[in-house]
Amino acid sequence: MDFSEMWLDIKPIENIDINSVSITCTSRETASSAAVWELRNSFSRLLPDVRFTERDADYKIKISIAPMDSPESFTLSADNNGASIVGGGGAGTLYAAFTLLRDIRLNGFKTLNISETPSLPLRMIDHWDNIDGSIERGYSGKSFFFVDGELVINERTVQYARFLASIGINACAINNVNVRWGAEMLITDKYAEKLSALGELFERYGIKLYICIDFSAPISVGKMDTSDPLDEKVQKWWKSCANELFSKVTGLGGFLVKADSEGQPGPYAYGRNHADGANMLAKAVKPFGGKVIWRCFVYNCAQDWRDTETDRACSAYQSFSPLDGKFDDNVILQIKNGPMDFQVREPVHPLFGAMNNTNIIAEVQLAQEYTGQQRHVCCLLQMFRDFLDHRTYCNDDNDTVSDVICGIAAVSNTGDDHCWTGSELAAANLYGYGRLSFNKTLKAEDIVDEWVKLTFENNDAQSIISDILLNSHDAYEKYTVPLGIGWMCKPNVHYGPDPWGYEFDRWGTYNRADRNAVGVDRSSEGTRYSLLYNEPLRTQYNSVETCPDELLLFFHRVPYDHKLKNGKTVIQHIYDTHFEGYEKAKSFAKAWKTLEGKIDDRTYENGCERFNEQLRSAKEWRDIINTFFYRFSGIADEKGRKIY
Ligand code: GCU
């Protein structure tokens, strides 16, 4: 077994007077049998000498099912004599089992009374795995789902399903949203048997299987001459495709679709809109309870940089808000957290406040494409927390992002690396994402605390690693891109600084820096993006005076001597944060060095390598960004530090 068990690595607990355990289960649901297996397996690791018996056990676990809010709901009560688990369905019993095990590992055999229903009905992981085994924006090795065009299922797959279930994930799309290199064939007979085996495995763990499809599959797979969603032949083709797939593949949840985006085909080619496209597919999967998850990441990726009217940030809003209420009930729109593309800082996407009559879910990115690619430590959980808590003002109350979404999806950060996530520390993002989607009220610091305790035994290591994680996003933001402007990274690879790399390119990602000013005017005087928000956000973002500093350059173009709320000029803020950010990164690397011998060697060495790279890269960011702005503005650092 060449992989780590991450947070499921169970160590024995000492001095517990339990010699025998009984587990009785009245439920026949598949996920309940996984619950029994998990409990048995974990108890035999927690208490290596334990005997499993049918009766008279020291610790008795009873599992049953009763009607509840949802099949995923559960009640769990426990004390030091045993536990009673009641699930609304098999999945509920499984979640209760993982909750019990987690609590025992964290707190010992304590009294426990928990009733829980997951906050968000859909809690999804999206893999950008290609069928040849590569991963788009993957920083943790290769795909463990695909090898050379084949779908593989092995002990790693089982372990992965266990990880996902243990944090409450209930849906997984296994292939890249950019469906290419033969992945369009995933919906054909060629893959049905393997998909079904995977779907069955996932089903045991309460996870629905999703496939990304090629919108033009009627052409690429069906050899037809059109994929027009309003063409009856096309509709019939998809119906028979869905019929075949759902009858052959166990546990299939539906399709995830990237259409009319970055070169992917879509309904626009036929003069149709996204509702036409999504509803056509929705009708095909509806008889089987299937869902169509349709991405809103739609923009013109062939923009002319000279064009200052077109604004990529407005694009998804313009395409989708007029369609609110026009989607079938089994369509779910998937909206990225911000209007651009997973930058370290972006405003919350205005669509979250504009789709009251549509099923919407949020999309976040665990793969650290723009946040250091798992070579830099960057804990995203506080960012997710702030995002979920953000008020959209689309209703009188219940207006935060977490109120208006029916689910959340995250681009996976896993691959076939020993530790699954490139850096062991990046696993905190996966763990925390799941926990937060299951219970949207959890605090980032509590989740981090939980994760470090489940992952590392040594108390010093736990507190040092927590401290690094909780400060890591702030540090990363400081030494990289200032005040929400984004995109100062190297084109294509999205790693390392290149402040003008995207300035004259076609992607709609500009900072408009010159010797007088920096930032994009997205106010009512500029691209009018700020007007897409509901009041009072519209007014707040529209004015330089009230716009939060952290997003200043996203919304406004200001001179370098513009004063921020703390009295500092923009240019001085840029210098200060870049020096501070680098110092922070240095302090993380130093703190990590103290962990030698306190954590396992492999994790320690991997961390050392990655912190070295983070330091090299942070320094490069610091010096290039500072120099770039110094050369433009001609304004010296007040503190006289070295700028080139
Ligand atoms: C980003 C990313 C692409 C990805 C795209 C998407 O642009 O760089 O690799 O395909 O997002 O979310 O579809």
Reduce the secondary structure of 568-632 to three states and give it as a string: CEHHHHHHHHHHHHHHHHHHHHHHHHCCECCECHHHHHHHHHHHHHHHHHHHHHHHHHHHHHHHH
Average pLDDT, 10 consecutive residues per value, the chain (644 residues)? 94 93 95 96 96 94 97 97 98 98 96 98 98 98 98 98 98 98 97 98 98 98 98 98 98 98 96 98 98 97 95 98 98 98 98 98 98 98 98 96 98 98 98 98 98 97 98 98 97 98 97 97 98 98 98 98 97 98 98 98 98 98 98 98 97
- Tell me which residue has its CA closest to atom 11 in ligand 1: 341
Q: How far is the CA of 97 from the centre of ligand 1 (A)?
A: 36
| Architecture, CATH, for domain 6-116 | 2-Layer Sandwich (3.30)
Tokens at 493, concatenated:
């690879």
Q: Could you tell me which residues come within 8 angstroms of residue 396 by beta carbon, excluding any fewer than 6 positions away?
A: none
Whether the CB of 363 sits within 6 Å of ligand 1: no
**Catalytic residue among 262, 457, 596, 638, which?**
262
DSSP string, 507-547: SS------SSEES---STTTT-GGGGSPTTHHHHHHSTTTS
Distance, CA 176 to ligand 1 centroid (Å)?
10
Q: Which ligand 1 atom is nearest residue 369's CA?
A: 8
Pocket test for ligand 1, best of 129, 137, 181 (most atoms within 8 A of CB): 137
Sequence spans of domains, the chain? 6-116, 122-451, 456-520+557-644
Helix orientation angle between 444-455 and 427-438, rounded to the nearest 10 degrees: 130
Angle of helix 444-455 versus helix 90-107 axis, rounded to 10: 80
By most ligand atoms within 8 Å of CB, the mutation choice from 297, 299, 312, 363 for ligand 1 is 297
Find out whether the beta carbon of 312 lies less than 6 Å from any atom of ligand 1: no
From atom 10 of ligand 1, which residue's Cα is the shortest distance away?
178
Angle at 198 between CA 64 and CA 156, to 5 degrees: 95
3-state helix, strand, coil in the chain (%, to 5): 40, 15, 45
Ligand 1 within 6 A of 136 CB? Answer: yes
Locate the ligand 1 atom nearest the alpha carbon of residue 336 and give its number.
Answer: 12
* Residue nearest atom 12 in ligand 1 by C-alpha distance: 297
What's the gap in Å between 155 CA and the centre of ligand 1?
A: 30
Q: Which atom of ligand 1 is nearest to the CA of 363?
A: 12
Q: Does the beta carbon of 137 lie inside 6 Å of ligand 1?
A: yes
**Which H/E stretch holds residue 60?**
strand 59-65
262: annotated active-site residue: yes
How many whole angstroms separate alpha carbon 613 and alpha carbon 546? 38
Active site residue 596: no
Is residue 258 within 6 Å of ligand 1 at its C-beta?
Answer: yes
Distance between CA atoms of residues 110 and 132, nearest Å? 48
**122-451: what fold?**
TIM Barrel (3.20.20)
Q: If we measure between CA atoms, which residue out of 136, 119, 118 comes closest to residue 127?
A: 136
- Residue 417 is a catalytic residue: no
**Amino acid identity at 2:** D
| Location of structure tokens 């390392």 | 496
Quick one: residue 19, left, alpha or beta (phi over 0 = left, psi -120 to 50 = alpha)? alpha
Domain 456-520+557-644: give its CATH superfamily. Alpha-glucuronidase, C-terminal domain (3.90.1330.10)
Backbone angles phi, psi at 147, to 5 degrees: -130, 120
> 343 C-alpha vs ligand 1 centroid, how far in Å?
12
Q: Give yes or no for residue 178 CB within 6 A of ligand 1.
A: yes
pLDDT at residue 55, as a whole number: 84
